[in-house]
Structure 1
Amino acid sequence: MNKIRLSPLVSAIILTGCSSAAFAQLGTNLSVDARSLSLGNAVTADPPGISAVHFNPAALTKIQGLQTDVQGIVANFDIQREFTVPEGYNVFGYSDDPLVCKDGPEIAADICTDFKDKVTSEAEYVSLYVPFLKKMVDLGANQPVAAPTAGIAYNPPGSKFTFASAVYAPLIAGFGAENGNAGNYMGQQVALERVTYLSPTIAYQVSDELSIGGGVGMSYQAIGLKTDLRFPNELIGMLRMIDEVVCTPFKENSDIITDILLLGMCNTEEGMNPFGRFGQMQIALEQSLSPSYNLGVLWEPREDFSFGLVYQSAAKMRLKGNYRVDNAKAPRELINGLMSSPTGQILAAILGFPSSVPASESGLVSMDFEYPQHVQAGIKYKIMPDLQVNFDVGWTDYAAWDKFRFEFDRTISALKIAKLLSSDVTDSSLALPMGFTSPWSWGIGIEYSATDRLKLRAGYEPRTSSIPDGKRNTMVPINNAQLFGLGVGYQFDSDTDLDLSIGFLRSRDNIPANTSSLANQTGVNNLLLNPYAGLNVQTATKITILGLNYRTRW
C-alpha cells in the first residue's frame, strides 16, 4: 500500500472483496426457508410451498387456491480465530509483535523473549448494513440476526397457471468486535446481504406429470466493512531498521548532507514498524435493484418419484458507495521525510509518489460484482409409503469471482504507489485476483410421516469450498463446511401447516504460516494483504439457525 502508505486503502478494498466472496458461500440458502433447511436444501424435486419461487418455480403448480406463507429465520454466528507462533518467527529480524509477544516496554529487544501460547479472537456481535442509514448497525453482544420472510401464491379455480411472489433473503450475514480484538486486522465489522423484495413468478402445469415455471427476482445487495490495518512486511521491517539503526545518530543533528544521502528518511517524528497499526478503513457498497431470474422444471411420473431442475441466473451489478481512510502517523511521516530532502523529492517524483499523505481521505468507490449463477437438480423417492428420501446435486459459478475490480472517483495517492507493484493497479482503480473455483455440491434429506399430521425431517449438506488454499483468510473463516438440519412439520387442518426447523453449520480451517497470500504469507511480495504474516492461523465457524414457517390456504 503505500509501499509504506498505500496500505490502508488498497488493503481494505481487498478485504471487502474477500468478505463478499467468503460470506456468499458461507451464507447461501441459510435464511430462505425453514423446511428446506431441515432437509439439507435437497428440495429441488420437492420444493416447499411458496419458497418454490426460489428453489424450483415449477412446483408452484402444487398450490391450490390462495396461499400465504409467513416465516422467521433466526441465526447466531460463532466465529473464532486462533493465532500461534511457529518456530523461527520474525519479520526482517524483528519478532516483538505485541499481538503474540508478552514482552513489555521495559524489555528493549528486537527479538521477543516470551511468546504467548496462543492468541484467540472471536466475533462479539452481529452487524447488519441498514440501507436507509447507509451504515452498519450492531445488534449487541450475543444477539442473533433475524430474517423474516413472507410470500403469497394464487391458483385460479380450474386454471393451470399459478402466480406467486415472495420476500426472502438468499444471503444475510455479518459480525463485529470491539476495539483491540486480535481479529480486527481482517474486519472489525463486516456485513453482507442480499434481500429479494419482489419476485413475480408464474408456473404452468403442462400435464399431470410435467410442470414448468419461471420468475424474476428484484433484490437489494449491500457490502459493508470497517477494519484496522497493519502490514508486517520485510520492506517495512527494513524501514524500521533504517530508522532505529542508521538514523539514530542523525535524529537530532541532521544536515543537508545527511538529508541528501539518506533521502530525508531520518527526518521523521515516528518511524515505521511492521507490527504497527497503519490506520483504519470504512467502506460501504450497495445496489438497490439487482434483477435475476429463476427457471424450473418438475417431472412427477409416479406418486413415489419426482425429478426437479432449477436454474438461477447470475445477477450482474454495479455496486456504488463510499470509503473513508484514516491514516496513522508513521506512514504520513515517511512521505513528509522524503519531501524534506532534495534527493527524496527526486525519488518520489521519479516513482510518482504523492507529495503528502492526509490524516484522512474519503470519496466514492464502485465495483462490478456478479452474484453467481447456480444450477441444481434433484430427485424425491418414497422408499416406503411413510419414508421419503430427497437427493440433490448443484453447481455454483464461483469462478466468476476470478478478479474484483474497484474504481474510484479520483486519483488516490495510495494507488499511485501500488501501481509500481502490480499491473492490476492504476492511479484510480484496483483489480484483485481471487482465482475462485466452481465446485459441485450435494445434499440429502429424509422425511418420515409419523402420522397423517406429523412429519419428522433430517438433512445433511456438505459444502465444498470454492476458495483456493493459497487465498484462505480470516475475514470469514471458512474452508469446507457441513450443514446439519432437523425439523418437524405439523398439519393443524386441511388448510394450515406449521414447520419448525433447526440447522447447524460448522467449518474449521488450518492456515499454516506462509501458505496464504490473503492472510499470513511472508516475504517481500506480501505487501497487499497479510496482517498475520508468519503466524499459524486456525479458524472455526459455527452458525446455528432456527426457522419457523406458518402456511395457510384460503
Structure 2
Amino acid sequence: MDKKGDGSLHLPRSCCTVCLAGMVIAITVALTALPTTVLAAFDEQLAIDPVAVSLANAVTAHPPGHMAIHYNPGGLSTLPDGKHFSAGASVVPVIEATSSFIQDPEFPGFMDTYREDIEVNGKSGTSTSGFMFLPVYDQTIDFLGAPAYALSFRKPGSRWTFAVGGYAPFGIGLTHGDADDPSVFGGKSVYHQHLIYFSPALSCQITPDLSVGASVGLGHSSIGAELEMRAPNDMVALTKLLGDVTQGLEIPVLSELTLPPPWFGGGVGPFNRVASLEITVWDNFSPNFNIGLLWEPLKWLSMGACYQSAIKSRQAGRYSFDYSDEWKRLMNWLGSSPTLFIVSNVLDLPTGAVDHQSGRVTSEVEYPQRAQFGIKLQPFQRLRLMVDLNWADWSSFKQDTFVFDQDIQVFEVVKLLGYTGGNNTLILKRNWKDTWHWSFGLEVDLLEWLTVRFGYEYRPSSIPDVTYDLVYPMPDLENYGAGFGIRFANGVVLDFAGAYLVNKSTSIPNNSSINMNSTDFTKPVYNPYASMNYEQKTEAYIFSFKISMPTQVITEMFSRLF
C-alpha cells in the first residue's frame, strides 16, 4: 500500500468520496447495533498472534504482520521489503470451567423410585488445566498452547510478496483432574484442535491502494475425549428395580431354564457407572485455503475481506471401553439360561461380558468455511480504530460420528431403547448454526517506538442449548484483549498480548439438552445428567508473544557469535 503522507484525516471534497465516507459510517453503526443474541463463535481464532489477541481479532483491515497469512493474505503487501522472520507462541495457563448440578425439584425419580443422585446432585467441579494433542508424538498433555512462525520475502519495488507460516486457527481443550468432579461423566478430558504446520502464501499489490492474496494451509486436526459413562433413564432403572425385587426368587429348574434370579444380574442403577471411555482421533493432512483483499481508498480508511475454506478431515485413531462390574453382571445374565441365550441372539444382544474393548476408530469432521470483513479508520496518524464482522458456517456440523472396528456392547444394548446408530457407531447430534459475531480494536502509537492496543469481542456460542454438553463446553464468551508492541532501530519488533475470556453464568435447565440432561429414555446416547439443572461459569486467560525482525539481524547475530 502507498503509505506516504502523515496519515491524518483529510476531509474529501468530491461527491463520490463523501458518499464513500457515509457508507463506512453506516456500516460501522450497523455492526455495533448487531443484537447480542445472534449465535457466533466456537473455538476459532482464540490464540494465533499477539497483535490479533490484543485487538480481539479486529484485524481484517489492519493485518497483524506475518499472520496476514490467516487473517487476510492481501495484507502481506503491507510488510517491508526484503526478508523477514517472526516467531512466537500463545499459551492458555488458566482455563476454568466450573460446573454445578442441582437436581430438578419437580423430578419424580426414575421409575418413581430412584431419585437421589449422590454422585452429582449438589456438587460442582472446576477444570484443572488445559488439554491438547501433540502431533507426531500422538500423545495428549495437560497444557494448552501453540507456537507460530513465519517467513516473508519481497524484492524492493516488486508488487509480489511471498510468505510461509504455521499457527493454530482452531483449538480448545481442558481436563477435570479431580476424581470427585461430577463433570467426569460428561467430559473428564476433551479437546478439539486444528494446527497448520505449513502454509505458503503470496500477495500482489495490484494498484497503490489495492492488494489481493492467497494462502494454502497444510494441517493436522484432532478430536478426543475421556469420560465415565452412565445412563440415568427409566429403562435402565427398571433393570435395577426388577433385580432388587427378584433377589432370592428361586424356582428350582424353571429359573435356571428361563430367568435366573436376580433378574438382569441385579440390574444397573440409573446413577451407576457403566464404562470408562477414551477416544482419540486425528488426521495428519487436512488442507485448506484462504483468499483476501485489502483496499485503502483514502489515507484514513482501509477495508479488508477474507474467505477461509472449510477443512475436511478424515480422522482415525484409537478407543478404549472399560466396563463396570454391574454392567458385566448384566451381560453375563443375558446368556445365563437357554431361554435368555435364544432371546439375546434373536435380538442381537451380547450373551457374555467382556472386561475391555479397544481398537481403531474413524471419524469424518468438517471445520467450517469462514468469512470476515473489516474496516480501519485512522483519523490521526497515531490512532487507528478497527471493527470486524465474522461469519462461520457451523451449520455444516450436524453430528459427531465415530465408527469402531467391532460391535460395542453398550450400543448393542441401547438400540432396544431406540438408538439407531448401529452396533459399531457412536452418533451424537450437534445441529449447530451458521454464526455471526463482531469485534472492535483500538491501536495507539504512544511513542515512536511504543504502540498500545485494546480490543473487545463478543462471542455468543454457536452451540444451541438443545445439544449442549461437556464434550464441547463453549458458552457465550466476552473477550477482552490488551497488549503492546516495541520497535527497535534495527527493525526488531516485540509484541506482547493478554486476553481475558469470561462467562459468568450459563444455564441448561433439566430436559433442555438431548446430549446432557434429557430424561426421555428414547434418547439414551448420551444423557449422563438426566434430571439435573446445570450451571456453568467459564474463565480463561491467554498470553501471547512474538518477535519479528529482518533476517539480516539474525545473520549479524550469528556472525558476532561465531
Residue 25 of structure 2 corresponds to which residue in structure 1?
A: none
Q: Shift in Å at residue 471 of structure 1?
A: 1.1
2:393 is the counterpart of 1:397: yes
State the SS of the aligned residue for 2:131: strand
CA positional deviation for 1:254: 4.3
Match of 1:91 in 2: 110
Cα shift readout 1:294-338 (whole Å, capped 9, x = no counterpart) = 101111111111111101101111100111100111122112212
Paired position in structure 1 for 2:557: none
Q: Whole-Å Cα distance in 1 between the matches of residues 42 and 95 of structure 2?
A: 11
In the TM superposition, residue 548 of structure 1 has moved relative to its aligned partner by 1.4
Separation in 1 of the partners of 2:328 and 2:120?
A: 26
Distance apart, 1:349 and its partner CA: 2.2
- Identical pairs, percent: 30
Q: Secondary structure at the match of 1:528?
A: coil
Shift in Å at residue 422 of structure 1? 4.7
Q: State the distance in 2 between where 1:193 and 1:362 align.
A: 23
Q: Does 1:552 align with 2:549?
A: yes
Post-superposition Cα deviations, 1:255-296, rounded to whole Å, max 9, x if no partner, equal 3323556x3462665531111111101111011111100101
1:359 to 355, 358, 368: 355
Residue 406 of structure 2 is matched in structure 1 by 410
Letter of the 1:39 partner, please give it: L
* TM-score, normalising length: structure 2: 0.86
Query: Secondary structure of 1:298's partner?
Result: strand
Q: Cα–Cα, structure 1 residues 420 and 234, in superposed 2: closer, same or farther, change >3 Å?
A: closer
Which amino acid counterpart does residue 169 of structure 1 have in structure 2?
A: A
CA deviation profile, 1:506-544 (whole Å, cap 9, x unmatched)? 133111112111111113223111111111110111110
Tell me what 2:535 maps to.
538
Shift of 1:423: 6.9
Q: TM-score, normalised by structure 1?
A: 0.87
- Which one of the candidate residues 44, 64, 74 is aligned to 1:28? 44
Contact 1:282 1:324 in 2 (8 A): yes
CA shift in 2, pair 1:328/1:434, >3 Å: same
Q: Is the 8 A contact 1:474 1:539 kept in 2?
A: no
Q: Distance in 2 between matches of 1:494 and 1:303?
A: 27
Equivalent residue for 1:112?
Answer: none
Within-5 A mapping of 1:131-530: 131-139=135-143, 145-176=144-175, 177-245=177-245, 247-250=246-249, 253-259=250-256, 263-264=259-260, 266=262, 270-422=266-418, 424-493=420-489, 495-507=491-503, 508-530=505-527
The structure 1 residue matched to 2:91, chosen from 74, 77, 82, is 74
Query: Cα 1:239–1:461, aligned 2, differ >3 Å: closer, same or farther?
Result: same
* Deviation of 1:480 (Å): 1.5
Residues 1:53 and 2:69 are matched in the alignment? yes
The amino acid that maps onto 1:456 is V
Q: Distance in 2 between matches of 1:95 and 1:523?
A: 15
- Of the structure 1 ranges 165-174 and 533-542, higher mean CA displacement relative to structure 2 is found in 165-174
Q: Are the counterparts in 2 of residues 264 and 338 from structure 1 also a CA contact under 8 Å?
A: no
Pair 1:413–1:78, CA change in 2 (3 A): closer
5+ residue gaps, structure 1: 1-23, 102-117, 140-144
Q: Any idea what SS the aligned residue of 1:27 has? A: coil
Identify which range, 346-355 or 230-239, moves more after superposition: 346-355
Distance 2:44 2:261 in 1: 50
Q: Deviations over 1:7-64 (max 9, x none)?
A: xxxxxxxxxxxxxxxxx95432122100111111011111011000000001101112
> Residues of 2 paired with 1:419 and 1:526: CA distance?
10
Distance (Å, rounded) in 2 between the aligned partners of 1:202 and 1:422: 53
8 Å Cα contact 2:239-2:263 kept in structure 1: no
Instruction: Please state whether the residue corresponding to 1:493 is helix, strand or coil.
Output: coil
Range 43-52 or range 505-514, more displaced: 505-514
Secondary structure of the structure 1 residue equivalent to 2:142: strand
Q: Once the 2 structures are TM-superposed, how far is the Cα of residue 367 of structure 1 from its aligned partner? A: 1.0
Aligned-pair distance for 1:419? 4.1
Distance in 1 between residues matched to 2:194 and 2:308, nearest whole Å? 14
Which residue matches 1:126? 130
* Alpha-carbon distance, 1:494 to partner: 6.0
SS at the partner of 2:149? Answer: strand
Aligned counterparts of 1:87 and 1:397: Cα–Cα separation in 2: 39
Aligned equivalents of 1:412, 1:153: Cα separation in 2 = 51
Query: Aligned pair in 2 of structure 1 residues 100, 162: CA closer, same or farther (>3 Å)?
Result: closer
Deviation, structure 1 residue 346? 3.0
1:121 is matched by which residue type in structure 2?
G
CA distance in 1, matches of 2:363, 2:417: 21
Distance in 2, matches of 1:189 and 1:167, equals 26
**How many Å apart are 1:394 and its aligned residue?**
1.1
Please report how far the alpha carbon of residue 411 of structure 1 lies from its aligned counterpart in structure 2 after TM superposition: 3.3
| Displacement after TM superposition at 1:432 (Å) | 3.0
**Whole-Å separation in 2 of the counterparts to 1:265 and 1:300:** 81
| Counterpart-to-counterpart distance in 2, 1:457 and 1:424 | 52
Q: Distance in 2 between matches of 1:268 and 1:419?
A: 17
Runs of 4+ residues over 6 Å off in structure 1:
none
Matched AA of 1:538 = E
Q: State the AA in 2 paired with 1:42.
A: A
Contact 1:237 1:274 survives alignment (8 Å): yes
Partners of 2:120 and 2:366 lie apart in 1 by: 38
User: How far apart in 1 are the matches of 2:514 and 2:163?
Assistant: 46
Q: Is the 8 A contact 1:393 1:440 kept in 2?
A: yes
* Residues 230 and 271, structure 2, Cα contact 8 Å, conserved in 1: yes
Check whether the contact 1:178–1:188 (CA below 8 A) recurs between aligned residues.
no
One-letter amino acid of the counterpart of residue 89, structure 2 = G
Partner of 1:7: none
For structure 2, list consecutive stretches of 5 or more residues without a partner in the other structure: 1-39, 553-562
Letter in 2 for 1:541: T
